[in-house]
């Protein structure tokens, strides 16, 4: 800088900024930070979610206040080391005041601004509440059992897995149930989103086995695209994990679910097989898991165990299963064809 430099605004001698202003002219011409005096926001009158960046979210008021400051704060180009402090003060249901202090450096000079924002909340209805009110649905889920009526308990367990999805923290706002109720042989539900229906169907199959049939129906056109509705029909098998079933004259325990059908474990010998859902249509349940009993061993020899018959308290001898661990003092027994049978896979008190 040569000796003739001076402030372009007032003619003062150096020191000068890069734009040739003295400190006092820099300060009088600079708005270090700007914030609006009022900020308007929307809250859903039905579910109390707030609109943030075109989405509806559950958020605490104070955290939301901070977010509004971040959204609206403008800083001058070239500012460094900026610090923002704020104090949130609720006034009433719809209004709050935020005191904001902004500090930082510009051209080596320290700046410090105080702001006050009035945050006003007005009522709106979010997309998901609008759709719920309009009985909107994208998918139908049909819960059925293969070959018989679902019991109340089965229905409760199946329906419970939907609540698990709906209660997840990051659950999509379109994940809602529009309508549900009993139908012959099962339960039908209308759901707000196709993706909810598919997520639930996957969960049902993983937990309870069975199959899902998917059909799509064209319901109209909207803005040049086809609008379709999805119907998912879930068929729960007539048996559960742990049940003893008879298939082609052999008895098996239902061991696990796979895509094409369950795996079965023989009750007589160390053998496991995979079968299809179709194969299993010929199977009959001989003793469900809930009818099986864990019972103490009274006496054990090389081939059999004495136990007390739970129906008449007489001592009976049952053959010990092929995988019996001799340190285990109990057996799991099932009443099949008028006889108590000890089952493999039992590992002590449950």
* Binding site residues, Zn ion, CB under 5 A: 7, 9-10, 12, 22, 25, 44, 46-47, 126, 129
Minimum Å gap between C-beta 193 and Zn ion is: 15
Residue 146 CA to residue 90 CA, distance in Å, equals 57
* Termini Cα distance of the chain: 88
Contact 91, 99 (CB under 8 A): no
Contact 150, 185 (CB under 8 A): yes
Minimum Å gap between C-beta 49 and Zn ion is: 5
Minimum Å gap between C-beta 128 and Zn ion is: 6
Give the strand order in the sheet containing 250-257: 272-274, 262-266, 250-257, 244-247, 284-287
Q: Which is nearer to Zn ion, 28 or 216 (CB)?
A: 28
Residue 296 CA to residue 310 CA, distance in Å, equals 11
Contact 325, 349 (CB under 8 A): no
Minimum Å gap between C-beta 12 and Zn ion is: 5
Q: Which is nearer to Zn ion, 57 or 298 (CB)?
A: 57
Minimum Å gap between C-beta 26 and Zn ion is: 8
Q: Which is nearer to Zn ion, 129 or 264 (CB)?
A: 129
Residue 186 CA to residue 194 CA, distance in Å, equals 20
Contact 145, 235 (CB under 8 A): yes
Structure tokens at 88: 């949130």
Structure tokens at 277: 């859902």
Minimum Å gap between C-beta 278 and Zn ion is: 45
Q: Which is nearer to Zn ion, 174 or 316 (CB)?
A: 174
Minimum Å gap between C-beta 61 and Zn ion is: 16
Residue 71 CA to residue 63 CA, distance in Å, equals 12
Q: Which is nearer to Zn ion, 7 or 143 (CB)?
A: 7
Cα 71 from chain centre: 29
DSSP bridge partners of 80 = 105
Q: Which is nearer to Zn ion, 30 or 263 (CB)?
A: 30
Residue 310 CA to residue 198 CA, distance in Å, equals 45
Minimum Å gap between C-beta 28 and Zn ion is: 8
Minimum Å gap between C-beta 56 and Zn ion is: 6
Q: Which is nearer to Zn ion, 11 or 181 (CB)?
A: 11
Residue 252 CA to residue 247 CA, distance in Å, equals 8
Residue 51 CA to residue 171 CA, distance in Å, equals 16
Q: At what angle do helices 194-208 and 152-166 cross, to 10 degrees?
A: 130
Q: Which is nearer to Zn ion, 44 or 318 (CB)?
A: 44
Sequence-distant (6+) residues with CB within 8 A of 34 are 73, 74
Q: Which is nearer to Zn ion, 68 or 132 (CB)?
A: 132
């Amino acid at each position: 800088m040569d000796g003739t430099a001076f402030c372009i605004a007032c003619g003062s001698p150096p020191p000068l900024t890069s734009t040739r202003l003295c400190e006092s002219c820099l300060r009088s011409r600079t708005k270090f930070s700007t914030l609006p005096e009022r900020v308007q926001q929307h809250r859903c009158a039905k579910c109390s979610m707030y609109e943030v960046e075109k989405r509806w979210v559950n958020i605490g008021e104070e955290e939301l206040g901070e977010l509004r400051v971040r959204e609206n704060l403008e800083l001058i180009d070239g500012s460094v080391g900026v610090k923002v402090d704020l104090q949130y003060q609720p006034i009433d249901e719809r209004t709050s005041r935020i005191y904001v202090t902004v500090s930082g450096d510009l051209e080596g000079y320290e700046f410090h601004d105080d702001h006050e924002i009035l945050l006003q909340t007005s009522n709106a209805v979010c997309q998901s509440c609008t759709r719920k009110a309009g009985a909107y649905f994208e998918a139908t889920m049909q819960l059925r059992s293969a070959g018989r009526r679902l019991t109340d308990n089965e229905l409760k367990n199946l329906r419970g897995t939907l609540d698990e999805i709906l209660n997840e923290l990051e659950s999509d706002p379109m994940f809602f149930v529009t309508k549900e109720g009993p139908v012959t042989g099962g339960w039908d539900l209308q759901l707000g989103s196709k993706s909810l229906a598919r997520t639930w169907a996957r969960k049902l199959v993983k937990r309870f086995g069975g199959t899902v049939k998917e059909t799509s129906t064209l319901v109209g056109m909207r803005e040049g695209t086809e609008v379709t509705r999805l119907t998912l029909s879930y068929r729960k098998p007539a048996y559960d994990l742990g049940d003893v079933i008879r298939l082609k004259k052999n008895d098996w325990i239902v061991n696990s679910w796979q895509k094409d059908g369950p795996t079965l474990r023989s009750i007589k010998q160390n053998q496991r097989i995979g079968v299809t859902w179709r194969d299993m249509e010929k199977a009959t349940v001989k003793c469900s898991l809930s009818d099986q009993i864990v019972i103490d061993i009274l006496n054990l020899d090389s081939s059999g165990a004495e136990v007390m018959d739970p129906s008449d308290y007489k001592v009976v001898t049952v053959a010990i299963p092929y995988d019996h661990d001799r340190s285990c003092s109990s057996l799991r027994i099932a009443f099949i064809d008028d006889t108590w049978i000890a089952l493999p896979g039992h590992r002590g008190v449950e």
